[in-house]
Amino acid sequence: MLWLHFLDGFFTLLHLAVIGFNLLGWIWKATRKGHFYMVSATAFSWFVLGYWFGVGYCPITDWQWEVKNKLGEHDLPNSFIKYMVDKILGVDSSVALIDTSTAVCFALAVLLSVYLNFFRKK
């Protein structure tokens, strides 16, 4: 059981690191190339793997939800971000609002990454 709690914490930290890097990794010149690869991998997961598993598919969420189910948490949302917003704010947030906000922020980060990596004069 302790192992499952460790995994749950690990997946939470991994999620937060990926989300944070996806949103902010374009800022620093040293991380821009890595950021482009990370947002590309995220888009691949959301849209290519999402073709089979549902748009927005994230394997980290899949693995974490398996752990949470074994820990007794059920009826989990499709989105880790919705889960965290609900948990932190103590509300049942709108799926549409969370999904739209996530998509808009991700799209802005992708556009910034593409611009800074491929179009901005050095």
Query: In the chain, where are the structural domains located?
Result: 2-119
Three-class SS state of 100? helix
Q: Residue 68 pLDDT > 70, yes or no? A: yes
Average pLDDT of the chain is 97
pLDDT at residue 1 in the model? 87
* Cα separation, 58 vs 60, whole angstroms: 5
pLDDT at residue 121 in the model? 72
pLDDT at residue 122 in the model? 65
* Cα separation, 108 vs 113, whole angstroms: 9
